[in-house]
Amino acid sequence: MALIDAPLNSVDAYVDFMSAQNVPVLRRTLREFEVLAVGQDSVSGKQIAAVVLADPLMTMKLLTTLQANRPAKQNHDITTIDRAIMMMGITPFFNKFSAMPTVEDTLAEHPNALIGVLKVIGRARRAAHYARDWAILRHDLDVDEVTVAALLLEAVEIMCWTFAPTLTLRVYEMQRANHWLRSTEAQRKVFGVSEQEIQVALVRAWKLPELLITLMDDAHADNPRVRNVQLAADFARHLASGWDNDALPDDIAEIGKLVHLGREPLLARLGTPAEELYRFFPPAT
């Protein structure tokens, strides 16, 4: 599989390159599909969906494949994984996704990048978990849509680790050397463009459902569903460095406003360690 070793000329060049690749999935995803395919006569769509939703790359691969093969008579978008599998059918699903490249093989010669992408995938999973939980608390009309949007919000960073491992490592090294350097600035210095710019263009090029694009766009942060997705991503990213991250108190205050939950029950729901609770309450007067 081809990798990007030097900066490309434009956002469109990155989109064209990534669009031309056979996107890899986690090795675990491929193995679980192989097991399920053996007994596919008794496999449910929900079992398959659970495997898909554990892998942001597979989630993106399924939705983009469905959009690329969308029949002309289909007059509505498919925005959840359950419905995507139902639309495709279980046997056609396994026929289509029976042989796929894996992230582990793609990055076999880039072990540090493999560690990096697995960390981001773990962060995306946690963001999706939080987003789903908060959507349930908010009585969202379709929690699955919010879950998918949160899972895909890290998609381009995952793609950069996968297809441009050397450049992405350089971005992280620059930020380690200078903690004040914003990620967008570092990305522009290395890639010539920002990940956000690539993401905006990529989701359009791949014709992701408009609803999911909106849910992933922080320009619509006044919408509670979009706020749900963005807060889940922010919280998961900040928590990745530990419960002592300075941004977490503000995150938790905003989450409380979103889900209308008091500080104590919210902290319990988030699994805050007892020794860290003091950080999230104002000092006694």
d(CA 228, CA 226): 5
The dihedral built from the CA positions of residue 185, 253, 263 and 230, taken in this order, carries a sign that is negative
For 6-29, write each residue's pLDDT tens digit.
999 999 999 999 999 999 999 999
Query: In the structure, what pLDDT confidence band is assigned to residue 85 with cuts at 50, 70 and 90?
Result: very high
**Residue 180 burial by CB count (10 A; 0-12/13-18/19+): exposed, middle or buried?**
exposed
For 45-75, write each residue's pLDDT tens digit.
999 999 999 999 999 999 999 887 776 677 6
The pair of three-digit structure tokens given for residue 180, joined into one six-digit string: 């004040």
Q: What is the pLDDT of residue 179?
A: 84
d(CA 67, CA 2): 24
The pair of three-digit structure tokens given for residue 124, joined into one six-digit string: 């995306």
- The set of residues, in sequence order, having a beta carbon less than 8 Å from that of 211 and lying 6+ positions away, is 77, 79, 145
> What CATH architecture does domain 106-280 belong to?
Orthogonal Bundle (1.10)
Question: At residue 162, what is the residue type?
Answer: T
Query: In the structure, what pLDDT confidence band is assigned to residue 78 with cuts at 50, 70 and 90?
Result: confident
Residue extents of the structural domains in the chain? 11-103, 106-280
- The set of residues, in sequence order, having a beta carbon less than 8 Å from that of 23 and lying 6+ positions away, is 57, 60, 61, 159, 162
For 91-134, write each residue's pLDDT tens digit.
999 999 988 999 999 999 999 999 999 999 999 999 999 999 99
pTM greater than 0.75 (yes/no): yes
Beta strands in 22-148 (DSSP E): none
pLDDT(285) > 80: no
Beta partners for 25? 102
**Contact call for residues 165 and 2 (beta carbons, < 8 A):** no
> H or E element: which one contains 31?
helix 27-38
Query: In the structure, what pLDDT confidence band is assigned to residue 230 with cuts at 50, 70 and 90?
Result: very high
SS3 131: helix
Location of structure tokens 């079992």: 47
Q: What is the pLDDT of residue 31?
A: 96
* 68 CB-side CA count, 13 A: 10
The pair of three-digit structure tokens given for residue 220, joined into one six-digit string: 């619509």
